[in-house]
Each structure stands twice: as structure tokens, then as C-alpha cells.
């Protein structure tokens, strides 16, 4: 049994994440035993080949047709896995060049194209059993299955890593950690509890508008949204959505809100106003979630790609309760853009150490669950 297996010594672990935007792969090497984390300077953001990205987007927008086509599904799973293998091998080369000890383990999330916990189904494309021999490492994958089989939402997975970062930074409780990926998820740490849930959409809807209407991957710095005006009727209607009426652990698929993008009243808005209104939806849903907590947060750390969206960040800051200290991941020595890849590395290490990664208060699972399945390189 290696040192990482019994959770004592820090070892290099690769984490791979491809988020809701589906534009590519984030990968990194961290030193971790599943309970502590030290970052290295070794990371990458590797775009998918254009045909692969287009196939992923098509699968996301019509998952039923995609799942019914076995040949198409198999081809895309293979292409996604092989793209991740290329990322792993790049990271391994860089780790060796930098003199890191040999990497012992890889965490592989896969590409989410469908997440509907109410129906008991979540789909992350990728084949851990193919990836392991391609990169010569044991691969931990399929992180959501055990949680969902035990009655959980299978998401969010991030609270356990957010808790580690907040503890290492010495943030006083109650403390919050907000990740602005395609979906916004909030972790809350108190002296006795770890809570987690998705607050609502973050970048997924604005990215979808940019890609469809402007041919852009995203709204850089939120510059286009900054020129627009918020549609109060749109904001009021979306905030009345059934998702925001739920309490307790909850998770969200970006497609839940996609119908709003096709509503005639929304389509009648200028692109600038559409993006401004979607940013406002993200900010208001975050603020409402934080205000509904039974205690006041002392600190809120924000991470994820949305941190680069100046318009969204200002709207969030303006909407938050007065006096809440707002910080970014960089302020506590973390990296906003690599949070999710680092998370996957930590989940992989926790799997080998047989440490749980989800709990009833974070996903609604019936009992604490060890996340992931191990694939051997042999």
C-alpha cells in the first residue's frame, strides 16, 4: 500500500476536468493526500479539437438522440478519452521536467452532457478503463454514481475541497466558497456542518448566448453585458422558477434554464440586454441563497471562470448582504481557473485513502459516500 493509500504523505496526483462549457480540458498536478493540498505550477487548459467540441455541444443540446445512437456515442466517448490522455501525457512530461516525484494517480471526471438527479441519471462521457492504460496510471473516475445510488444528487462534488481550502487559509467560520463555473455552487462551512448546493446558473447561459448569437466562446470580462440593461420582467420570471423554491441539497443541469433563452420576450432583447439580464440572474440567485442561510457568513471566497467576468462580479458584490467580506481564490493562495481540476485530484486521492467525499448535507445522499471507481492501467 502506498503512502497516499493510507492518507499520510503528500504525493503528486493529476486532476482532469471538463466543465459545462465543454470547450476543453483543465488539467493539473497537485500534491495531496486527500486531506491537505499543495499546488504546483503544472497545469494546462487544452481545447478540444473542433469536431469533438461540436459533437459534445450537439449531445448536450439533444441528449436523447445522442444516447439512442450507439455508434455516435462510442465514437465521442473514445475521442473525449483520447483528448484527456493527451493532456495527461503533457502533464507527466512537465512534471518530470520540473523534478516532481512520479505521479501515482489520475482523477478523471469526464464530460457532463446530462444531469437530471430527479430521474436518477447523470452522464459523464469518458472511459476510465481506456484512459488508464493510455497514460500508465491508475485512474479514479465515475465520481457521481455511488452518491446517486444512495439517493443523493450526485452534485455538488466541490464542498469537500472548498472546506480544505478554507481551512488551510484560516478563514473564520461561518465561511462560504462560491464556484462560478457553468453552474454556481456554494459551499458553507461552520464549526459543526458542511453544506453544499447549486445556487443557479453562472456562465453556462451567457456562454450559450455568445456561442449561438455572436460566434464567441464567452463574453470576455463581461464587456458586452456591461453595455446592456437588465430586463426586470425576465429577472422576475426566472427567479420564480421552481428550482429556486427548493431547499436543502440540490443540483442543477444548465439545460433546466435553457428554455428561457427561447422565450419571445427574451429573444426580443438586444444581445447586450440578454447578457446583462443573465448576469443579474446569476447574481440575484446567489444573493438570495446566501441571505436564506440561518446564519451570516463572515467571508465568501469566489473562484471559477466567472471571476474573470467583471460585470457578474460587480453584480454579485452589489447584491450580497452588507458587510460580507468578498475575496477571490487568489486572495487565499488558490487558483480560480484550476479549482475544479484540483478538486478531481483530491477526490481521487480520497478514494484511494477510503475517505468520503459527499454527505447528506451536501448532496442529500443517505450516508457519507466514497466517490469514484478505480481503473487499472494493466
Query: What pTM did the predictor assign?
Result: 0.90
User: CA-CA distance, 356 to 51, in Å (whole number)?
Assistant: 37
Q: What is the pLDDT of residue 119?
A: 79
User: CA-CA distance, 290 to 303, in Å (whole number)?
Assistant: 16
The residues that bridge with 375 in the sheet, in sequence order, are: 139
| pLDDT profile of the chain (378 residues), mean per 10 | 51 92 90 96 95 92 89 96 98 96 96 85 94 98 95 93 96 96 94 93 94 93 98 96 88 85 95 98 96 93 94 96 89 91 97 96 95 96
Total residues found in the chain within this entry: 378
Backbone angles phi, psi at 36, to 5 degrees: -135, 160
Closest CA to 20 of 263, 143, 184: 184
Asked whether 348 and 105 are in contact (CB, 8 A), the reply is yes
User: CA-CA distance, 9 to 33, in Å (whole number)?
Assistant: 6
* 127 alpha-carbon distance from chain centroid: 19
Asked whether 370 and 376 are in contact (CB, 8 A), the reply is no
Q: What is the pLDDT of residue 6?
A: 45
Q: What is the pLDDT of residue 8?
A: 67
User: CA-CA distance, 160 to 187, in Å (whole number)?
Assistant: 9
What are the residues whose beta carbons fall under 8 Å from the beta carbon of 326, sequence distance 6 or more? 300, 302, 316, 317, 320
Fold of 159-336: Nucleotidyltransferase; domain 5 (3.30.420)
- Does 159-336 match 11-154+368-375 at the fold level? yes
The neighbour count for residue 315, using CB atoms within 10 Å, is 23
Q: Where are the domains of the chain?
A: 11-154+368-375, 159-336
C-alpha cell read off for 235: 429577472
Closest CA to 231 of 273, 259, 262: 273
What are the residues whose beta carbons fall under 8 Å from the beta carbon of 155, sequence distance 6 or more? 115, 117, 122, 144, 185, 198, 251, 363
Name the CATH superfamily, with its identifier, for domain 11-154+368-375: ATPase, nucleotide binding domain (3.30.420.40)
User: CA-CA distance, 138 to 247, in Å (whole number)?
Assistant: 38
Q: What is the pLDDT of residue 373?
A: 97
Residue with cell 451567457: 206
Amino acid at each position: 500500500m502506498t503512502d497516499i493509500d493510507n492518507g499520510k504523505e503528500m504525493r503528486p496526483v493529476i486532476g482532469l476536468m471538463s466543465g459545462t462549457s465543454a470547450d476543453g480540458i483543465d488539467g493539473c498536478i497537485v500534491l495531496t493526500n486527500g486531506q491537505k493540498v499543495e499546488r504546483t505550477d503544472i497545469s494546462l487548459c487544452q481545447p478540444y479539437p473542433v469536431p469533438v467540441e461540436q459533437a459534445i455541444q450537439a449531445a448536450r443540446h439533444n441528449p436523447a438522440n445522442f444516447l439512442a445512437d450507439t455508434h455516435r456515442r462510442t465514437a465521442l466517448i473514445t475521442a473525449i478519452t483520447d483528448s484527456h490522455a493527451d493532456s495527461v501525457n503533457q502533464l507527466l512530461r512537465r512534471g518530470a521536467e520540473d523534478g516532481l516525484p512520479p505521479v501515482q494517480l489520475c482523477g478523471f471526471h469526464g464530460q457532463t452532457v446530462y444531469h437530471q438527479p430527479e430521474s436518477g441519471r447523470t452522464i459523464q462521457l469518458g472511459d476510465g478503463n481506456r484512459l488508464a492504460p493510455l497514460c500508465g496510471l491508475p485512474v479514479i473516475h465515475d465520481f457521481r454514481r455511488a452518491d446517486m445510488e444512495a439517493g443523493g444528487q450526485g452534485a455538488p462534488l466541490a464542498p469537500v475541497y472548498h472546506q480544505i481550502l478554507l481551512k488551510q487559509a484560516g478563514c473564520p467560520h461561518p465561511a462560504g466558497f462560491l464556484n462560478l463555473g457553468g453552474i454556481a455552487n456554494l459551499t458553507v462551512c461552520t464549526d459543526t456542518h458542511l453544506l453544499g448546493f447549486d445556487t443557479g446558473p453562472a456562465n453556462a447561459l451567457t456562454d450559450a448566448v455568445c456561442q449561438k448569437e455572436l460566434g464567441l466562446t464567452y463574453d470576455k470580462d463581461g464587456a458586452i453585458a456591461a453595455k446592456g440593461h437588465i430586463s426586470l420582467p425576465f429577472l422576475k420570471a426566472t427567479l420564480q422558477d421552481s428550482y429556486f423554491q427548493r431547499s436543502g441539497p440540490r443540483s442543477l443541469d444548465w439545460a433546466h434554464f435553457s428554455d428561457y433563452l427561447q422565450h419571445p420576450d427574451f429573444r426580443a432583447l438586444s444581445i447586450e440586454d440578454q447578457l446583462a439580464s443573465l448576469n443579474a440572474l446569476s447574481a440575484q440567485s446567489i444573493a438570495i441563497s446566501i441571505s436564506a442561510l440561518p446564519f451570516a457568513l463572515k467571508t465568501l471566497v469566489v473562484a471559477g471562470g466567472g471571476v474573470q467576468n467583471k460585470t457578474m462580479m460587480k453584480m454579485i458584490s452589489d447584491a450580497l448582504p452588507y458587510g460580507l467580506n468578498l475575496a477571490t481564490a487568489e486572495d487565499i493562495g488558490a487558483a480560480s481557473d484550476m479549482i475544479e481540476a484540483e478538486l478531481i485530484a483530491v477526490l481521487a486521492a480520497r478514494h484511494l485513502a477510503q475517505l468520503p467525499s459527499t454527505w447528506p448535507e451536501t448532496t442529500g445522499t443517505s450516508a457519507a459516500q466514497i466517490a469514484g471507481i478505480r481503473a487499472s492501467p494493466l
